[in-house]
């Protein structure tokens, strides 16, 4: 598929960046022109991402589509290798939908409009790049690249008191966390060249990705690494770089694990998030919660699970008393994220911090689904036992759908919270109260979005949470049960938020303020609401696309 002669995925990645540069050329005083130009560019990009999604849908396959493979940095075996499958198509769609909404919401920004809009578009470039990457270096490149626009959005347009601290913490935490991943990537890219040619030949019979790979050369192609890197343990084993291979694998795993745990975020690596989300401007929070967190979850699914099946299920002995494995540890952390995130959200008085902790809570469910997938995939790879595969397919479908749903609902919540903040200039919920009286439409939308976030049946949150719980039930029964406590408190904090903002006595301080939702904000949240409803009632429009690829992924070659 090509647009003006350039293949569609490269165009999708490059177009926001080119658009951003064009915006920067516009005269900065003509704010209206800049705003509508940015909106126009982002709508075009949204249209392209919708076309990409439905074009992929019509391919009726779970395999990669719209693949591009061009030489880029042959010295180290990196190619400009892009492609999407069902999982990435859903994420591309999410990014495409949220970008124009973020820009529309940013119309309220008055200071250096063109720079702000350009940064949003640069962020879109980075996100598209991560989701479409089929090469590990390209993945890493765009993954790190998204940090820069987000840092500046928070640092320059965030709330004056906390933005300096929040942005620096976010940037250094994320960058430092990904250092382990960078080292692991270098190690992996080089080490696939050490796999002997005979093993490559045997494996290429079952793995199409290896067909164009020359044995003995370094490569960062994700398909090649998925085939060869696990084989280093299972088929070669022994000593690597002077250290037992299992130790090397575990260290590389930890590099990836910690980097993505920080991003998702998984408890206890989540501490950057409440500050970053609450101090960011509205568009920043929407994109941070809506898209950026998904980069981490996507990384787990696309990279960590296929690369390290042996490490996920490898036995770990804690003080001789507890036998566990990384998949279970991950599930425990996920459960803690669900429960503690919900408790923390319940305790907040700052509306944006409440929504921020709700992200920790919801992404905990994603992590739970991913933990199930890791366990099942690892077991199937190492022992051939497919006892948990069906559960894993359910849980992974749920996790990916939850990524999509959470993107919609948290973007919606931040849109509303940001709108209220813009009108009242405070995030303190104790100052709100009784807004229903003056802003009934806002109230209705607020309740609708909160219910989607809560997981009310009929709206999208329910479908994904149900799938995850159903999938995790037989795999991590006790942890799932404990997570239900978290779900209870999810209801708690959502209802608390609604009560604090909308119900109770009207705070006379706001007597003369305009509290009702603007037309612009209404237009921005309408697509999100529509999608939340449609996905809740008829989720198959997206679930079938996701399922095709998830099933393909879980039907992995079994290790004899």
Partner 1 sequence: MVETVSFPVLSLLIFIPIIAAVIILFLPREQKDLIKGIAVTAAFAVFVLGLFTFISYNNNHEMIRAAQDAIIAEGGESSATRMYDETLVFEERVVWVEALGITYHLGIDGLSAPMVLLTGMVTVTGVLMSWRIEDRTREFMAFFLLLVSGVFGVFVANDLFVLFFFYELAIFPMYLLIATWGWVKLREYAAMKLTLYILIGSVVALVGAIAMVLQANTFFVNDGAQIFANAVESGILPANSSELSFSITQLTLAAENGAFNLPFVGDISFANVWFPFIFLGFAVLAGVFPFHNWSPDGHVAAPTAVSMIHAGVLMKVGAYAALRVGIQLMPEGAHTHLPWIVFLTLINVVYGAFIAFRQRDFKYVIGFSSVSHMGLVSMGFATMNLVGMTGAGLQMFSHGAMTALFFGCVGMVYDRAHTRDIPSLGGFIKIMPWVGVAFIIGGLASMGMPGLSGFVAEFPIFQGMWEASPTTVLQIGSFSLTNYYAILVIIAALAIVITAAYVLRVTGQVFFGEFDRAKYPDVDDITLRERFILVFLGAPLILLGIYPSLIAPMLETGLRPVLALLGVAT
Query: How many CA atoms lie less than 13 Å away from 508 in the CB half-sphere?
Result: 0
Question: Is residue 243 within the footprint of partner 1 (CB under 8 A)?
Answer: yes
Site for partner 1 in 56-115 (CB under 8 A): 71-76
- Indicate the DSSP class of residue 69: E
How far apart are CB 84 and partner 1 at their closest, in Å?
21
Pick between residue 138 and residue 313 the one whose CB is nearest to partner 1.
138
- Indicate the DSSP class of residue 64: -
Question: Is residue 534 within the footprint of partner 1 (CB under 8 A)?
Answer: no
Please say whether the beta carbons of 408 and 368 come within 8 A. no
Sort 268 into a burial class: Cβ within 10 Å, 0-12 / 13-18 / 19+.
exposed
Question: Left if phi > 0, otherwise alpha if psi is -120 to 50, otherwise beta: which for 243?
Answer: beta
Please say whether the beta carbons of 392 and 554 come within 8 A. yes
Question: Is residue 241 within the footprint of partner 1 (CB under 8 A)?
Answer: yes
What is the distance between the alpha carbons of residues 211 and 209, in angstroms, rounded to a whole number?
6
What is the distance between the alpha carbons of residues 207 and 126, in angstroms, rounded to a whole number?
29
Pick between residue 40 and residue 71 the one whose CB is nearest to partner 1.
71
From candidates 19, 62, 218, 290, binder to partner 1 by CB under 8 A = 218
Site for partner 1 in 135-194 (CB under 8 A): 137, 140-145, 148, 155-156, 164, 168, 171-172, 175-176, 179, 182-183, 186-187, 189-191, 193
| Distance in angstroms between the alpha carbons of the first and the last residue of the chain | 39
Dihedral of the alpha carbons of 316, 319, 320, 326, in degrees to the nearest 10: -20
Dihedral of the alpha carbons of 203, 209, 214, 220, in degrees to the nearest 10: -110
Question: Is residue 448 within the footprint of partner 1 (CB under 8 A)?
Answer: no
Site for partner 1 in 256-295 (CB under 8 A): none
Pick between residue 250 and residue 464 the one whose CB is nearest to partner 1.
250
How far apart are CB 183 and partner 1 at their closest, in Å?
5
Pick between residue 54 and residue 190 the one whose CB is nearest to partner 1.
190
Question: Is residue 244 within the footprint of partner 1 (CB under 8 A)?
Answer: no
Piece in contact with partner 1 (CB under 8 A), picked from 99-107, 235-243, 353-361, 364-372 = 235-243
Question: Is residue 197 within the footprint of partner 1 (CB under 8 A)?
Answer: no
Piece in contact with partner 1 (CB under 8 A), picked from 240-248, 404-412, 504-512, 514-522 = 240-248
What is the distance between the alpha carbons of residues 503 and 13, in angstroms, rounded to a whole number?
44
Beta bridge partners of 239: 244
How far apart are CB 186 and partner 1 at their closest, in Å?
5
Contact positions vs partner 1 (CB under 8 A):
71-76, 137, 140-145, 148, 155-156, 164, 168, 171-172, 175-176, 179, 182-183, 186-187, 189-191, 193, 218, 241-243
């Amino acid at each position: 598929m090509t647009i003006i002669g350039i293949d569609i995925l490269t165009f999708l990645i490059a177009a926001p960046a080119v658009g951003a540069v064009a915006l920067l050329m516009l005269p900065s005083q003509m704010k209206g022109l800049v705003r509508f130009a940015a909106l126009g560019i982002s709508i075009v990009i949204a249209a392209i991402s919708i076309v990409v999604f439905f074009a992929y849908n019509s391919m009726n396959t779970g395999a990669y589509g719209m693949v591009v493979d061009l030489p880029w940095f042959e010295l180290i075996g990196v190619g400009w290798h892009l492609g999407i499958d069902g999982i990435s198509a859903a994420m591309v769609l999410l990014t495409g939908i949220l970008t124009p909404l973020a820009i529309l919401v940013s119309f309220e920004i008055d200071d250096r409009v063109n720079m702000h809009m350009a940064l949003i578009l640069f962020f879109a470039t980075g996100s598209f790049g991560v989701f479409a990457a089929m090469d590990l270096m390209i993945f890493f490149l765009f993954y790190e690249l998204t940090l820069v626009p987000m840092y500046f959005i928070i640092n320059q347009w965030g709330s004056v008191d906390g933005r300096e601290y929040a942005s620096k913490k976010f940037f250094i935490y994320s960058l430092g966390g990904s250092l382990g991943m960078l080292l692991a990537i270098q190690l992996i890219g080089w080490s696939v060249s050490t796999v002997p040619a005979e093993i490559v030949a045997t494996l290429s019979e079952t793995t199409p990705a290896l067909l164009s790979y020359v044995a003995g050369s370094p490569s960062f192609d994700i398909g090649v690494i998925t085939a060869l890197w696990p084989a280093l343990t299972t088929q070669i084993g022994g000593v690597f770089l002077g250290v037992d291979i299992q130790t090397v694998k575990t260290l590389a795993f930890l590099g990836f694990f910690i980097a993505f745990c920080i991003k998702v975020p998984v408890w206890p690596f989540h501490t950057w998030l409440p500050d970053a989300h609450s101090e960011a401007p509205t568009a920043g929070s929407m994109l941070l919660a809506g898209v950026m967190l998904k980069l981490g979850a996507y990384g787990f699914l696309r990279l960590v699970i296929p690369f390290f099946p042996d490490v996920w299920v490898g036995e770990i002995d804690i003080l001789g008393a507890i036998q566990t494995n990384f998949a279970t540890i991950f599930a425990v952390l996920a459960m803690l994220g669900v429960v503690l995130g919900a408790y923390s959200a319940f305790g907040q008085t700052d509306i944006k911090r409440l929504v921020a902790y709700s992200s920790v809570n919801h992404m905990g469910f994603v992590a739970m689904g991913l933990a199930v997938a890791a366990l099942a995939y690892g077991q199937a790879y190492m022992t051939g036992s497919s006892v948990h595969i069906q559960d894993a397919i359910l849980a992974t479908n749920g996790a990916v759908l939850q990524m999509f749903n959470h993107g919609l609902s948290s973007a919606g919540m931040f849109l509303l919270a940001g709108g209220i903040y813009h009108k009242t200039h405070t995030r303190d919920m104790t100052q709100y109260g009784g807004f229903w009286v003056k802003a009934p439409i806002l109230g209705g939308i607020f309740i609708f979005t909160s219910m989607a976030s809560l997981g009310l049946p009929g709206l999208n949150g329910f479908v994904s949470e149900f799938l995850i719980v159903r999938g995790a039930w037989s795999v991590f029964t006790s942890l799932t049960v404990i997570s239900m406590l978290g779900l209870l408190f999810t209801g708690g904090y959502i209802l608390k938020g609604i009560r604090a903002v909308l119900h109770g006595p009207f705070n006379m301080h706001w007597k003369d303020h305009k509290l009702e939702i603007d037309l612009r904000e209404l237009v921005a949240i309408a697509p999100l609401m529509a999608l939340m409803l449609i996905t809740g009632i008829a989720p198959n429009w997206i679930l079938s696309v996701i399922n095709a690829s998830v099933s393909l992924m879980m039907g992995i070659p079994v290790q004899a």
